Structures are given as structure tokens and as C-alpha cells.
């Protein structure tokens, strides 16, 4: 029924979209917009004008003007008052209620960053090795076998299929190779439920009844996932194509494929 119903026709939908766009541009639907009004900043020595929607209670043009206006009577805080405020806040939960100001609930460990040799504190349960993400990228990201260093280029490849979104060059090249060899393939056709996660193989070859997984290398996480899959779905055939296998295919077939992507 959907195919025969005129509303789902592409030409009809494009025509209606164009009509609606023109109506908004001509102001025919202005009544549906929230009314905008111009206000003057309430701060005495500020004459800035700002625009807000009519239901917005905003009275100042900026947070700075609001703070200056509302804190005129208070004046600067003395050190004594600052200390009192700090003591009164100690032990109170913050907005997210994850920790209390002044109280360290989780014991911290001192660690040395292997990238910059800087000492930093981290929670005992966190497997944190680097003080910052930048240090992590400098050290781990420079390794060729690192997931962070993988030169994946996600996106649609029009020469393969304008409706498929590949997550790496290797996946796209494998699809091109299967097409060249005239082997039917389906990209990420099925998701399997493992013990604590879900797993979707990269490809399925229906003529060979085999799933294909393309990996640069097998990290500990990938090894556990692969083992779980083979235990739970022993009837399914899963073929791993690792870096060494992929490079052999690239050497053999890349010259025969016009749009082969080199990483």
C-alpha cells in the first residue's frame, strides 16, 4: 500500500517541501513563530538593547550586567566571609551529587605519566595511565597498531553503494574486492547478542554462508568478543581478516580496482 500511496512519491514530497519553504520565506507562517521583542538592559549604566522571545523573563543583556546589578549592595567579600562560605559548603553535594566539596570519598592513587613524567592523582578503580588525553595520543596514538592511530575514513562511497556508510577504508576496499570477484556480499546484515554486549560482523557472504570481520589487529577486547561469539554461535562461520591478510589482498588486487583507498 505504501508504494501505491501518492504521499510517498518522491516528486510529490519534493514539491510539497518546496512550497512549504517558499511559504516560510514569504512570511505566510509568521504567526506560528514566537514573538520577539526588544528590551533595554536593566543595569543603570548599560544602554545595550537585546532581543528575546516575549515569554523570556531575561532583563539583562549579559550575565556580567546581571551579577554587577544584583551584587551592588553586597560589596567585595572579606577573607573572613570567604572562609565562612567555604566551611559552610564543605561536605555538601554538588549539582551532580557525585562528590562532596572538601571530602574525598574515593581514595586517590599517585601515578607517573609515562609520556611526560608528571605526577597525577586518579581514583583507585580507574585504569588511567596518562595524565591527559594529549599525553595518551602522543604515546599510544603514534603506534601503528593502536586503535587511536587507525587511519579509518568513515563515510559513503558512491562507487560502491550510495546508501551504505562504511566505517573504514579497509571495509570499503573489501566490498570493492568482492564486487570485482563477483561474490555476493551484505554489509553488517545481522547483530548477535553476546553475554554482555552485541556484536555485528562487517560482512556476510551468502554464497559461502560466512561472516567476515576485518581488523587491524586483535586487542584483548576483540579476542574476548571473538571467543564469546564462537562459543555461543558455533554453527556460524566467522572469518577474520587481519592486517597481514589484508595487505596480501591489497598487493594482489589493488591495481585492478580503480578507486582502491590506500591508508
Q: Does 101 reside within a domain?
A: no
The boundaries of the domain holding residue 121 are: 108-145
Note the pLDDT of residue 143.
46
Sign of CA dihedral 51, 56, 60, 62: negative
User: Range with the lowest mean pLDDT among 34-43, 67-76, 94-103, 239-248?
Assistant: 94-103
Position 29 in a domain: no
Model pLDDT for residues 7-21, shown as the tens digit of each residue: 677 888 888 888 888
What is the reported pLDDT for 240? Answer: 92
29 DSSP 8-state letter = T
Residue 254 has pLDDT above 80, yes or no: yes
pTM for this prediction = 0.45
Q: What is the CATH number of the domain that holds 186?
A: 3.40.960
Whether 165 contacts 156, CB under 8 Å: yes
- Residue 23 covered by a domain: no
> Domain count of the chain?
2
Give the burial class of 141: count Cβ atoms within 10 A of its Cβ; 0-12 exposed, 13-18 middle, 19 or more buried: middle
Q: What is the pLDDT of residues 119-146, one digit of tens each?
A: 988 887 778 888 887 787 676 644 444 4
Distance, CA of 115 to CA of 130 (rounded, Å)? 7
Task: Identify whether 219 is part of a domain.
Answer: yes
**Which of 125, 145, 165 delimits the end of a domain?**
145
Answer yes or no: is pLDDT of 94 > 60: no
Answer whether residue 18 is part of any domain. no
pLDDT at residue 105, rounded to an integer: 57
Q: Which residue has the higher pLDDT, 36 or 105?
A: 36
Q: Cell numbers of 101, please?
A: 566539596
Q: What is the pLDDT of residue 92?
A: 52
**pLDDT attached to residue 109:** 85
Amino acid at each position: 500500500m505504501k508504494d501505491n500511496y501518492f504521499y510517498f512519491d518522491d516528486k510529490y514530497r519534493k514539491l510539497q517541501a518546496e512550497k512549504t519553504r517558499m511559504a516560510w520565506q514569504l512570511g505566510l507562517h509568521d504567526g506560528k513563530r514566537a514573538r520577539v521583542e526588544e528590551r533595554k538592559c536593566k543595569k543603570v549604566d548599560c544602554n545595550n538593547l537585546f532581543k528575546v522571545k516575549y515569554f523570556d523573563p531575561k532583563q539583562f543583556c549579559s550575565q556580567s550586567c546581571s551579577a554587577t546589578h544584583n551584587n551592588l549592595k553586597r560589596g567585595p567579600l572579606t577573607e573572613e566571609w570567604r572562609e565562612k562560605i567555604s566551611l559552610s559548603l564543605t561536605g555538601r553535594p554538588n549539582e551532580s551529587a557525585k562528590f562532596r566539596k572538601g571530602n574525598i570519598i574515593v581514595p586517590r592513587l599517585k601515578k607517573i605519566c609515562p609520556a611526560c613524567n608528571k605526577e597525577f592523582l586518579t581514583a583507585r578503580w580507574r585504569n588511567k595511565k596518562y595524565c591527559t588525553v594529549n599525553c595518551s595520543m602522543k604515546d599510544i596514538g603514534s603506534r601503528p597498531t593502536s586503535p587511536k592511530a587507525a587511519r579509518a575514513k568513515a563515510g559513503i562511497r558512491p562507487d560502491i553503494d550510495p546508501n551504505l556508510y562504511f566505517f573504514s577504508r579497509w571495509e570499503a576496499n573489501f566490498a570493492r574486492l568482492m564486487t570485482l570477484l563477483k561474490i555476493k556480499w551484505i554489509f553488517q546484515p545481522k547483530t548477535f547478542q553476546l553475554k554482555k554486549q552485541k556484536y555485528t560482523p562487517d560482512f556476510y557472504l551468502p554464497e559461502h554462508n560466512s561472516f567476515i570481520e576485518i581488523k587491524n589487529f586483535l586487542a584483548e577486547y576483540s579476542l574476548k568478543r571473538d571467543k564469546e561469539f564462537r562459543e555461543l554461535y558455533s554453527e556460524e562461520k566467522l572469518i577474520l581478516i587481519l592486517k597481514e591478510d589484508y595487505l596480501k589482498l591489497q598487493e594482489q588486487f589493488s591495481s585492478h580496482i580503480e578507486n582502491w583507498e590506500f591508508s
